Structure 1
Amino acid sequence: MEALLPVLKSHPGPAVLVCSLLFRVAHQLLQRLPVPTVVRQDAFRSWKWKNLSVSMVHSMLTGTWALTCVVIWPETLSNIHSFHTPLSYLLICVSTGYFVHDAGDIILTGHGRGSWEFLLHHAMVIWCFLYALYTQLYIAGALIALFVEVNSVTLHLRLMLKLANAQSSSIYHINKIANLFTYVMFRLGTQFYLTWYIVNNYSWMDHGGYFLVTMMMMNIMMVIYFYRLLRTDFFPRSKRYVGQNGTHNNNSKKILTFKKSEFQLCSQGAEQGKMWEERMNPGELSQQLLRSLSAAPLNFRGST
């Protein structure tokens, strides 16, 4: 590892590209694994499943890697500006390569417009990580930022279970609790710790303003995502159907159309009833209604 470090430091750009290609290879290998039928039958779900599979590999790898580095070298937490080891530098190369791969996968498969939030997040991460790799500063800060990948494991599993329509399974409910815990502990906790460090050391930090603005943007995104997570998993306001992108699609148009049709049917029935009352005596009207009811097909279905 000591011999590899000078090569990585002298060519961080090519090192990132090599790591990106390795994640592409992982993407191809993961396609050999079995996929749920409901996912395989839909083009978007199939792409999303493959994309999340690679993301899961990255999260499990880098989250464990980052925690291990901090346990072995506790100075990482206090000397964010200049401390790093060969393993931590390599970790940032690997993670940057993943974000480059994932951004490319989203754009080249035509899902950029629907995933603009992820592209914005990836752009900020790639810029910060490349700055750390080229200047050899804030490597420890980038490593601490990867603590969020511990939560990403449960987030990715949550989305994959939704794609497989497994929201009623016991593993989904267990993961829901684990996801909430890891979100607060590793995602929000990490974001706020890095923000606190930048604010308290802003006066002497290199490009402190840029990193502070970036962290504040990240913090806003994380709080919004946390609100969405709580609202969806713990405080649902009404029954909704999960869309292919993990968000909720309400059927307001269907309901509106149904209600309108129902109103029209009621109006027509009222008008016809009024005409019958004018033309028939009560005995004839009762017989006519009985004949109509017995002939009506019982195939009524509400909106789905």
Structure 2
Amino acid sequence: MFSIAGLTVILTSFIGFTVFNRALDMNLLPAPKKYTGTTRFKWRNVMGSMLHAAIAACLGLIVRYRSPEYLQDLIGTYTQLGEITIAISVGYFIYDCADLIKCNGMTNTWPLVLHHCLAGFFAASFLYMQRLAGYAIFTIVAEINSVFLHGRQLLLMYEVPTDSRLYKVNSIINVFTYIIYRLTPFAMLVPVALKDRHKMPPFYATSLSIGSFVLLVINVVLFYRLIKRDFLSSKNEAVKQRDDIMDTTVTPNR
């Protein structure tokens, strides 16, 4: 079952991101001019995602450095710092799902909502069983890429030119970290989950295998959008497609 510490961190994380959200509404940081009105929630959401990515990436690296056994035994390894790291992400997923659906609707944000639901469900299940935590730690380092992915969104929101050196450097780092820290771990999880299926309850063996594959497909789709908009589009097309690659709608020049 859930430990008191795990539940406390989940609740604290949820409250913390909610407070950060409200603080941004009170002009804690200046919002881009185009996001000071009804679309302000989009900027807030990216800022919250950036904060979570930075926290999770740092903690994930620390956990993998201090507890390399997570990579050797994805099922049985369970440490307090690992629990805290996973619980912070669970709290964030709950907060972000609620914020996305409330402000932008399910239709417009289904890839992210589906991703959060799957990732949050599995992560919470691992905390409840106090097993299989290595799978969460294995993929949470993907947040290293999220720092640059959300950085890209913020650059677009603040209308930094797509042909500027800052944007181009971020785009290159974004692609490399996406392949190394996002696509590769999810691709590796599919065969690993299949190999370890006899060590898990049938439900988790099946759902983890299918869930890993679904998350891999989602990330491949997002990677295609990223490559298309940052490297395969002409300058004029890039200007017209300054929307979020994780949003299923297109809102040119927003």
Percent sequence identity is 26
1:84 aligns with 2:78: yes
Alignment of 1:33-44 (within 5 A): 33-40=29-36, 42-44=37-39
Following the alignment from structure 1 to structure 2, what is the Cα–Cα distance between the partners of residues 249 and 97? 29
Which residue does the alignment assign to 1:242?
A: 241
Residues 1:173 and 1:149: Cα distance change in structure 2 (over 3 Å): same
| Residue 181 of structure 2 corresponds to residue 182 of structure 1 | no
1-structure distance, mates of 2:207, 2:250: 37
The one of 150, 162, 168 aligned to 2:163: 168
- Which residue number corresponds to residue 300 of structure 1? none
1:61-103 deviation digits (Å, cap 9, x = unpaired): 1011101111111101111101021111011111100010001
Report if the CA contact (8 A) 2:171-2:230 is conserved: yes
Q: Give the SS at the match of 2:199.
A: coil
Shift in Å at residue 237 of structure 1? 6.0
* Residue number in structure 2 paired with 1:210: 207
Moved over 6 A (4+): none
Kindly provide the CA deviation profile for residues 205-227 of structure 1, in whole angstroms up to 9, marking residues without a partner as x. Answer: 33211100000101111111111
Residue 95 of structure 2 corresponds to 101
Match of 1:154 among 138, 141, 148: 148
Q: Which moved more, 1:189-198 or 1:135-144?
A: 189-198
CA RMSD of aligned residues (A): 2.3
Distance in 1 between residues matched to 2:84 and 2:5, nearest whole Å: 12
Partners in 1 of 2:222 and 2:197 — Cα distance? 27
The question of 1:227 aligning with 2:224 is answered yes
- Residue 122 of structure 1 aligns with which residue? 116
Tell me how far apart the structure 1 counterparts of residues 219 and 134 of structure 2 sit (CA, whole Å). Answer: 21
Distance 1:67 1:178 in 2: 18
Q: Does the 8 Å contact 1:39/1:164 carry over to 2?
A: no
1:24-76 C-alpha deviation (Å, 9 max, x unpaired): 11223344112232332x421x2111111111010001011101111111101
3-state SS of paired residue (2:108): coil
Q: Flag the 1:184–1:245 CA change in 2: closer, same or farther, 3 A.
A: closer
174 and 245 in structure 1: CA distance in 2 versus 1, 3 angstrom threshold: closer
Deviations 1:217-259, CA, capped at 9 Å, x for gaps: 01111111111211111112683202544568599xxxxxxxx
1:271-282 counterparts in 2 under 5 A?
Answer: none
Distance (Å, rounded) in 1 between the aligned partners of 2:229 and 2:66: 38
Q: Give the aligned partner of residue 63 of structure 1.
A: 57
Paired amino acid for 2:43: W
Structure 1: which 5+ residue stretches go unaligned? 1-5, 252-304
Q: Is the contact made by 1:132 and 1:138 (CA closer than 8 Å) also made in structure 2?
A: yes
Normalising by structure 1, we get a TM-score of 0.74
Structure of greater relative contact order (alpha carbons < 8 Å, 6+ residues apart): 2
CA distance in 2, matches of 1:107, 1:222: 20
8 Å CA contact 1:162–1:242 kept in 2: the answer is no
Query: What SS does structure 2 have at the residue aligned with 1:23?
Result: helix
Matched, 1:145 2:139: yes
- Using the size of structure 2 for normalisation, the TM-score is 0.87
- 2: CA distance, partners of 1:108 / 1:71: 38
For 1:84 and 1:245, locate their aligned partners in 2 and report how far apart those are by CA, in whole Å: 36
Q: Secondary structure at the match of 1:83?
A: coil
Gaps of 5+ in 2: none
Structure 1 residues 27 and 193: CA distance shift in structure 2, 3 A: same
**Which residue of the partner structure matches residue 126 of structure 2?**
132
Cα gap change, 1:61/1:15 in structure 2, threshold over 3 Å: closer, same or farther? closer
Offset, 1:151: 0.5
- Higher CA-based Rg: 1
Secondary structure of the 2:30 match is coil
Partners of 1:15 and 1:174 in 2: CA distance:
35
Q: Distance in 2 between matches of 1:232 and 1:76?
A: 36
Report how far residue 155 of structure 1 moved: 0.6
